[in-house]
């Protein structure tokens, strides 16, 4: 059994994992960079270790620093979260060698699925259709260009080493491919420490539908149904839901069966996701990639199945058997998640950093918030701009959307700009409401949706009156009017008893 688990991540996912540890009686260890000494995830854990400078490459992406922290705290397990080192086979192998339980698949599976060539060959052998694409052996600009020509335009260039839309670019037949290739390579290198590129044909009007799977060491391998993540902006998922509005029971049966076969073929263990592109017109689906980790959008699956995926990950990683059979698992009602990003839809979605002056989470039935920030925190410039996830569930899709809208309208985050108004504009869009969006929907409609979001609108008169009122009591005002003899419980620096 795991006694002490180090969480090699930050933000909301680190907090999510720390909570699962608390529930199961495991001691949690947070790690933090210079920029995160006062971050919420540090306070969510039982212990914390400083691991290095603010730049991720010197802290959250540094295998030696994380291993040192594991050694220093005598942790017997590590949860990598998503992003950072979560799909790094060398890190998983180093943990295996050090006798530390890695909460994820064996390093050889990460390596096999992380190499897109291998993954696709394995998937094809298992009889599952794939999208044409390759990781060219010749990684020079001309080598990538030749590969693009082979798979056919329009095509995608993306990081071979990871997902999340980082380093992913669309190239049309008439585009300046060289500039695009170089930008993708730099972004891939910055995000994953590996600039290797993969090219693939772009399937038009496709939906992104993925199947959650989980497997144990005792031949247990289950699917936990699908998530539809078609609402993406520049390949970054924005809204995810389950069930998919376009997946029929027959298609669901074929896709989930393919996902379990893929997981079994790879010798998978722990939680993973098989991503597919679905052509809703023909009902065809193609394997896209396998994510060998917990996904950002895992709560959507948790809400429709009623299961705790992180808890299950810990059980499986400890060598335990899955506590359910496929027949125990059902998909009930509808769940939908919106990701809140620190970005300004009124200025080309520029990422935002800065102090959170006021922050209040909505509380209402059927709404779950997984967040990584608190009032008074500073959002650093060094990391991903996702601040929180709002997950609404209800009996039907319409009701779940209405709950999500209500929650977003009562979720003030002040001090930096966020995409909340933009999310609301998506949820109001007729095409979204009809369940009729493809993966290019936001890239087509994004600008007009940003306009609908009123990001450049006039301030309503009564709001302006409050802004200009000298009597307005604000979240920040209290700090300025602190008495001369401060109450120690209200000071912001450390003190000793």
- Residues at the site binding other proteins, with contacts judged by CB under 8 A: 166, 179, 182-183, 186-187, 190-191, 342, 344, 346-348, 350-353, 357-358, 360, 381-385, 405, 408-415, 417-418, 420-421, 424, 453-454, 457, 459-460, 462-478, 480
Q: 282 vs 473, which CB is nearer to other proteins?
A: 473
Contact 70, 2 (CB under 8 A): no
Contact 100, 76 (CB under 8 A): yes
The Cα 106–Cα 355 span in angstroms is 40
- Give the shortest CB-46-to-other proteins separation in angstroms: 29
The Cα 497–Cα 493 span in angstroms is 13
Contact 37, 56 (CB under 8 A): no
Residues 6 or more apart in contact with residue 234 via CB below 8 angstroms: 165, 168, 443
- Give the shortest CB-56-to-other proteins separation in angstroms: 8
Residues 6 or more apart in contact with residue 231 via CB below 8 angstroms: 237, 238, 239, 240, 426, 432, 437, 441, 442
**Among 251, 276, 446, residue whose Cα is nearest residue 346:** 446
Q: 319 vs 460, which CB is nearer to other proteins?
A: 460
- Give the shortest CB-12-to-other proteins separation in angstroms: 15
Q: 295 vs 352, which CB is nearer to other proteins?
A: 352
The Cα 417–Cα 432 span in angstroms is 24
Contact 389, 369 (CB under 8 A): yes
- Give the shortest CB-397-to-other proteins separation in angstroms: 20
Q: 113 vs 420, which CB is nearer to other proteins?
A: 420
- Give the shortest CB-448-to-other proteins separation in angstroms: 16
- Give the shortest CB-346-to-other proteins separation in angstroms: 6
- Give the shortest CB-427-to-other proteins separation in angstroms: 10
Give the burial class of 368: count Cβ atoms within 10 A of its Cβ; 0-12 exposed, 13-18 middle, 19 or more buried: middle
Q: 395 vs 466, which CB is nearer to other proteins?
A: 466
Q: 160 vs 418, which CB is nearer to other proteins?
A: 418
- Give the shortest CB-350-to-other proteins separation in angstroms: 5
Q: 146 vs 476, which CB is nearer to other proteins?
A: 476
- Give the shortest CB-300-to-other proteins separation in angstroms: 21
**Among 233, 258, 223, 441, residue whose Cα is nearest residue 343:** 233
Tokens of 468: 């200009």
**Among 162, 276, 279, residue whose Cα is nearest residue 213:** 276
Contact 28, 19 (CB under 8 A): no
Alpha helix ranges (H) inside 50-135: 63-73, 89-97, 107-114, 116-125
Q: 201 vs 417, which CB is nearer to other proteins?
A: 417
The Cα 311–Cα 327 span in angstroms is 20
Q: 23 vs 410, which CB is nearer to other proteins?
A: 410
Tokens of 29: 């260890």
- Give the shortest CB-470-to-other proteins separation in angstroms: 7
Q: 54 vs 93, which CB is nearer to other proteins?
A: 54
């Amino acid at each position: 059994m795991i006694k002490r688990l180090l969480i090699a991540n930050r933000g909301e996912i680190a907090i999510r994992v720390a909570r699962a540890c608390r529930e199961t009686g495991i001691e949690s260890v947070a790690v933090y960079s210079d920029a995160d000494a006062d971050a919420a995830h540090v306070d969510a854990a039982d212990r914390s270790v400083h691991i290095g400078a603010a730049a991720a490459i010197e802290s959250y992406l540094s295998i030696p620093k994380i291993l040192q922290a594991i050694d220093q705290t005598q942790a017997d397990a590590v949860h990598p979260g998503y992003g950072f080192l979560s799909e790094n086979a060398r890190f998983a192998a180093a943990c295996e060698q050090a006798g530390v339980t890695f909460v994820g698949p064996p390093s050889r599976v990460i390596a096999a699925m992380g190499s897109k060539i291998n993954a696709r060959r394995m998937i094809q052998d298992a009889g599952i259709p794939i999208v044409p694409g390759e990781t060219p052996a010749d990684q020079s600009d001309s080598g990538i260009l030749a590969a693009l020509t082979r798979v056919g335009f329009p095509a995608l260039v993306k990081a071979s080493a990871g997902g999340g839309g980082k380093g992913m670019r669309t190239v049309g037949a008439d585009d300046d491919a060289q500039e695009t290739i170089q930008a993708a390579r730099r972004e891939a290198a910055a995000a994953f420490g590996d600039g290797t590129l993969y090219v693939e044909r772009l399937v038009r009007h496709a939906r992104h539908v993925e199947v959650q799977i989980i497997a144990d060491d005792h031949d247990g391998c289950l699917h936990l149904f699908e998530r539809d993540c078609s609402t993406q902006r520049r390949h970054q998922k924005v809204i995810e839901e389950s069930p998919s509005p376009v997946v029929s029971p027959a298609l669901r049966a074929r896709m989930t069966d393919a996902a379990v076969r893929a997981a079994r073929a790879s010798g998978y263990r722990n939680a993973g996701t098989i991503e597919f592109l679905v052509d809703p017109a023909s009902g065809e689906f193609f394997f896209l990639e396998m994510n060998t980790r917990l996904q950002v959008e895992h709560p959507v699956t948790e809400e429709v199945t009623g299961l705790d995926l992180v808890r299950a990950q810990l059980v499986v990683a400890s060598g335990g058997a899955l506590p359910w059979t496929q027949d125990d698992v059902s998909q009930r009602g509808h769940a939908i998640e919106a990701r809140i990003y620190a970005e300004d839809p009124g200025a080309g979605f520029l990422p935002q950093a800065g102090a959170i002056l006021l922050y209040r989470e909505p509380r209402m039935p059927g709404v779950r918030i997984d967040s990584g920030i608190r009032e008074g925190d500073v959002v650093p410039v060094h990391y991903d701009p996702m601040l929180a996830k709002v997950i609404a569930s209800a009996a039907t899709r319409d009701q779940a959307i209405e709950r999500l809208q209500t929650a977003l309208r009562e979720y003030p985050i002040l001090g930096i700009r966020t995409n909340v108004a933009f999310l609301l504009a998506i949820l109001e869009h007729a095409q979204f409401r009809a369940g009729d969006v493809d993966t290019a929907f936001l890239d087509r409609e994004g600008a007009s949706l940003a306009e609908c979001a009123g990001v450049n609108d006039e301030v309503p008169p009564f709001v302006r009156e409050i802004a200009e009122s000298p009597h307005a009591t604000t979240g920040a005002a209290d700090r300025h009017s602190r008495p001369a003899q401060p109450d120690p419980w209200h000071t912001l620096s450390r003190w000793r008893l």
